[in-house]
Amino acid sequence: MKKIIAIAILLASSYGYAQSIELFYDKKHVNSGDTLTINVPNTSMDHYLDIVNTSTNTIKLMVKRTLISLLQGTENSFCLFDCYDVDVDETASPYPFLSGDTLSPDTKEYEFFYTKYDPKGQAGTSLIQYTFYDNDNKLDVTSVFFKFISKGVGIQENTTKAVTLNVYPNPTTGLLKMGIADRLPNDVESVTIYDVVGANVGTYRIRPTEDETVIDISHLAAGLYFLKIDNKVVKVVKE
């Protein structure tokens, strides 16, 4: 009996892992992997996240940006205590994030996170991932996608068609089947897969004119991934 209890405790510690970093946007809780769709004006604007350390330990907080699809001519940057140039994708050093603390402009004078998006008069959509993680435990990760939509200056014809993407089986042990609709007949697209920290773990060329495309991700470790084509993102679980 003691042996069974010990094994149960070991399994619970291995698979019962909880995220220590929670996010809030406009005072509403954001689940890891969620997409925030924001209609932006034609001028630069700051977008704030409240970040909470729900663990009992101090976290060495790092932030990583992944420009999944940045609309040409637009700019994006971010700040966490320090502000970074538009070409910087990760914080330079960890921020000591105390247990139970909240980083918010409501509670901190300078120590909070925000991202700045400037459409510079361009019409279209940008998709940007921000990943927050503990530098001492890179499995302790929380990600959010910002989908910025701008109308641009003046009247412009929108020629972009929405992508309909059906991915199955999900979860999968290796093979993913994708049905893609609403693309132009001669388009050749690529599907990219990102891990939870925003790293590109695979790019696959596909022809949307085919009824179904199969990709093999059996080489990837078990866990959560994000499959992206154009501005469409689908969560995929690899078992």
Place 16 in a pLDDT band, splitting at 50, 70 and 90.
Answer: very low
User: For residue 153, is pLDDT > 80?
Assistant: no
User: For residue 160, is pLDDT > 80?
Assistant: no
Cβ(91)–Cβ(119) under 8 Å? no
Is the CATH code 2.60.40.10 the one for domain 17-151? yes
Considering the chain, what is the average pLDDT of its residues?
Answer: 82
Place 184 in a pLDDT band, splitting at 50, 70 and 90.
Answer: very low
Give pTM, 2 decimals: 0.66
pLDDT digit string, tens, across residues 51-96: 999 999 999 999 999 999 999 999 999 999 889 999 999 999 999 9
User: For residue 185, is pLDDT > 70?
Assistant: no
Interval 130-151 mean pLDDT: 93
| Number of CB atoms found within 10 A of residue 131's CB | 22
Q: Note whether 17-151 and 164-238 share their fold.
A: yes
d(CA 196, CA 140) in angstroms, rounded, equals 10
User: What percent of the chain is predicted at pLDDT more than 70?
Assistant: 80
d(CA 135, CA 140) in angstroms, rounded, equals 9
Interval 134-150 mean pLDDT: 93
User: For residue 224, is pLDDT > 90?
Assistant: no
Which of 5-14, 65-74, 133-142 is predicted with the least confidence, judged by mean pLDDT? Answer: 5-14
The amino acid present at 77, given as its one-letter code, is: S
Q: What is the pLDDT of residue 187?
A: 54
Rg (CA), the chain: 20
Interval 127-142 mean pLDDT: 94
- Bridge-based pairing of strands 175-181 and 164-168 is antiparallel
d(CA 103, CA 52) in angstroms, rounded, equals 6
Q: What is the pLDDT of residue 10?
A: 38
d(CA 115, CA 79) in angstroms, rounded, equals 6
Q: Is the peptide bond before 169 cis (omega within 30 degrees of 0)?
A: yes
Domain boundaries defined on the chain: 17-151, 164-238
Residues counted in the chain: 239
Which of 8-17, 96-105, 197-206 is predicted with the least confidence, judged by mean pLDDT? Answer: 8-17
Max mean pLDDT range (1-10, 190-199, 207-216): 190-199
Max mean pLDDT range (84-93, 144-153, 177-186): 84-93
d(CA 179, CA 6) in angstroms, rounded, equals 45
Residue 200, SS3 per DSSP: strand
Cβ(92)–Cβ(82) under 8 Å? yes
Domain 164-238 top-level CATH class:
mainly beta
